[in-house]
Amino acid sequence: MPKYKPDQGTYARTSSFLMLGALAAYGAYTLYYFLLSMRSDDTSPTFLSNDLLGGNVPVLGFPITPAFLIAVVVGVGSIMLIHRLLNTPKSADMLIETETEMRKCHWPTWGETFNVSMVVFVVMLFFTFMLAAMDFVLNGFMINWVL
């Protein structure tokens, strides 16, 4: 793997890792509760929800169950895989080039953004009222003249 300068693609690479890592953490969280909800019938818990050590994880307060261990392994493994995939030369080059191109873009100021948004809002209101008026007129025409 080629070595990159520390400032190359920092924002793009970091934000990509954080967003995909958050998605992986949410997936592991969902997997944990899905595995806990699996039961052989409606009354008896499965092996996945049995407490292994008789205690909770110190800070989180979760009981240490096979479902918890599976979710942690899947979450950590997926985060490691994401890190590895984002640091492959092809992915890293793409993210570095993306950030370089985004730095060349002209970003509008808040005032410009507000003004353009107000124009869009006014045009939308105009067309909404125009379509409502046309609907009202055509509806009256259909009721009075056709029926």
Co-location of 27 and 88 in the same domain: yes
Co-location of 57 and 83 in the same domain: yes
Co-location of 87 and 66 in the same domain: yes
The answer to whether residue 19 scores a pLDDT higher than 80 is: yes
Q: What is the spatial distance between Cα 35 and Cα 39, in angstroms, rounded to a whole number?
A: 9
Q: How confident is the model at residue 113 (pLDDT cuts 50, 70, 90)?
A: very high
Q: What is the spatial distance between Cα 55 and Cα 132, in angstroms, rounded to a whole number?
A: 64
The parent domain of residue 74 ranges over 1-105
Q: What is the spatial distance between Cα 26 and Cα 58, in angstroms, rounded to a whole number?
A: 21
pTM: 0.62
In total, the chain counts a number of residues equal to 147
Q: Would you state the structure tokens that stand for residue 76, as one six-digit string?
A: 């950590």
Number of structural domains the chain divides into: 2
Co-location of 85 and 124 in the same domain: no
Place of tokens 């918890």: 68
Co-location of 32 and 101 in the same domain: yes
Which pLDDT tens digit goes with each residue over 39-58?
A: 655 555 555 666 665 667 67
Co-location of 41 and 88 in the same domain: yes
CA atoms in the 13 A half-sphere facing the CB of 137: 6
Neighbouring CB atoms inside 10 A of 75's CB total: 19
- pLDDT score at 53: 59
Q: What is the spatial distance between Cα 113 and Cα 50, in angstroms, rounded to a whole number?
A: 55
Co-location of 78 and 116 in the same domain: no
Co-location of 80 and 62 in the same domain: yes
Co-location of 116 and 101 in the same domain: no
